[in-house]
Amino acid sequence: MDTASRVNAAKCPVFPMRREDPLRMPDGYRAMRADNPVMRVRLVDGRLAWVITSYELARQFLTDPRISSDRLHPQFPLVKVVDRDEVVHQSPRKQALIGEDPPVHGMQRKMLVREFTMRRIEAMRPVIRTIVDDCLDDMTASGAPADLLDKLALPVAALTICEMLGVPPEDREFFQEKTKVHADKRTPPMVRNANLLELYGYIDELIGKREKSPSDDLLGRLILRNRELAEPVFDHDGLVGLVALMLAAGHETTASMIALGTIGLLDHPDQLELLRADSGLASKATDELLRYFAVGDVAVVRVATDDLEIGGQLIRKDEGVIVSIGGVNWDDQIYSSPSDLDILRGDQRHMAFGFGIHQCIGQHVARIELEETFVALFGRLPTLRLAERPKPEHFKFDSDIYGVSELMVAW
């Protein structure tokens, strides 16, 4: 980096931005969107990247074919402090679906899409409802106060994934424990890595068993579908990476939304009363909470594969770009009073699940988990309250997925 570049870098705002109020978007997003919705920023590793905070420009960018999701690209922007060499040299397992570009991405997604249709996932609603009720039974039996993240949010997310993958009942406690350790920001890096290796080992073994004897679940059907192809889309390691991705994408995000959504509704009693009076509002409430909290605020990251222009700003080949989901979800050109939580808003245009070819394939699952959890939680526990407000150290400011590490409630 030459002297001029260093001076320019020093003038760039640091990203990710700190949330002044941990339950709202950073104040700086509004100014960025008004002054320069495609802005140069300085990342935690000192590198420069672009951040998009405009809803319309984000849509334009995420549908441009001149961008890549390849996290092994040497210029791929990192939004948290990690060892770049570790990222660049990581196992190909990490590249499943979310880190692939066309045409590989399209082939992989096509293999999965029939497992995530609205009709198939809606048929899972009774199963998810039972999971939620069982977790609530366990939480209430243990007595108040209770950590809602530990007793409800994380188990609901983990057990739903177990159900979809066909994880045997006797293995689900192991599965829950490993995913819980991985999601806890207080877990030391060495422990986290060892835990992750154990989880990968289990997934590897589970897939090996399914390859020998496919079962009638998502994993078994995927293996059979893959086997029927003249040129299989996934090898064994690819399947391990795919399951690991499903776990990462569908576990921490859903659990974080359950916890933050609970705080949001308790902090807005007028909105909570609307939901309690009419459980049919659960779908609208869920979409509004997804928009409002944007737990994947800094998770949509790309790198330009060619020069391109967005909103009059030239982005050069190999430059990194981050779409701020919180920024676009609070765009006042799209939403009236975006900083207000309004469960009657009824707007599904938010980008909590991304946009474009990489839009979250499991979004219907997440929506049902959230709907069923909020209806059951506030219906069964009418006196639910925060036993204590989360402290600053409980918020996951430095994580790809925003949330809390614990949420103590009473009833």
Token pair of 121 as six digits: 């996932």
Query: Under a CB-based contact definition with an 8 Å cutoff, are residues 180 and 150 in contact?
Result: yes
Asked if pLDDT for residue 1 goes beyond 60, the answer is: no
Per-residue pLDDT, 189: 82
Stretch 232-254: mean pLDDT, rounded?
A: 90
- Residue 301 in contact with residue 77, Cβ under 8 Å? yes
Where residue 361 falls among pLDDT bands split at 50, 70, 90? very high
Cα distance between residue 368 and residue 389, in whole Å: 27
Q: How far apart are CA 35 and CA 399, in angstroms?
A: 27
Angle, CA of 402, 407 and 410, to the nearest 5°: 155
pTM equals 0.94
Say what the pLDDT of residue 334 is.
97
* Cβ neighbours of 387 (radius 10 Å): 14
**pLDDT recorded at residue 94:** 52
| CA gap 101, 177 in Å, rounded | 33
For 385, the enclosing helix (H) or strand (E) is strand 385-386
pLDDT at position 254 over 50: yes
Q: Which two tokens stand for residue 256?
A: 């974080």
- With a pLDDT cut of 70, the percent of the chain lying above it is 94
Q: Which two tokens stand for residue 393?
A: 């150290």
Q: Is the pLDDT of residue 8 over 80?
A: no
Do 282 and 309 touch, CB atoms closer than 8 A? no
Report the alpha-carbon distance of residue 89 to residue 77 in Å, rounded.
15
* CB crowding 227-248: b at 16 or more within 10 Å, else e: eeeeeebbeeebbbbbbbbbbb
User: Which of 341 and 181 is assigned the larger pLDDT?
Assistant: 341
Closest CA to 253 of 203, 283, 300, 290: 290
pLDDT value at 387 more than 70: yes
Lowest mean pLDDT across 23-27, 177-181, 332-336: 177-181
pLDDT value, residue 248: 79
Only one residue has tokens 């103590």, namely: 408
Lowest mean pLDDT segment, chosen from 5-9, 99-103, 286-290, 373-377:
5-9
pLDDT of residue 182: 78
Cα–Cα distance, 266 to 291 (Å, whole number): 17
Higher-scoring residue by pLDDT: 146, 178: 146
Q: How is residue 223 written in tokens?
A: 């293996």
- Residues 108, 233 contacting (CB under 8 angstroms): yes
**Structural domains of the chain sorted by starting position, each given as residue range(s) with its CATH number in brackets:** 3-410 (1.10.630.10)
Spatial neighbors of 330 by CB under 8 A, at least 6 apart, are 25, 29, 30, 294, 338, 339
348 or 186: which carries more pLDDT confidence?
Answer: 348
Mean model confidence pLDDT for the chain: 92
- Higher pLDDT pick, 394 / 196: 394
Whether residue 280 contacts residue 375, with contact meaning beta carbons closer than 8 Å, is answered with no
pLDDT tens-digit series, residues 265-311: 999 999 999 999 999 999 999 999 999 999 999 999 999 999 999 99
Give the per-residue pLDDT at 185.
72
Report whether pLDDT(186) > 70: yes
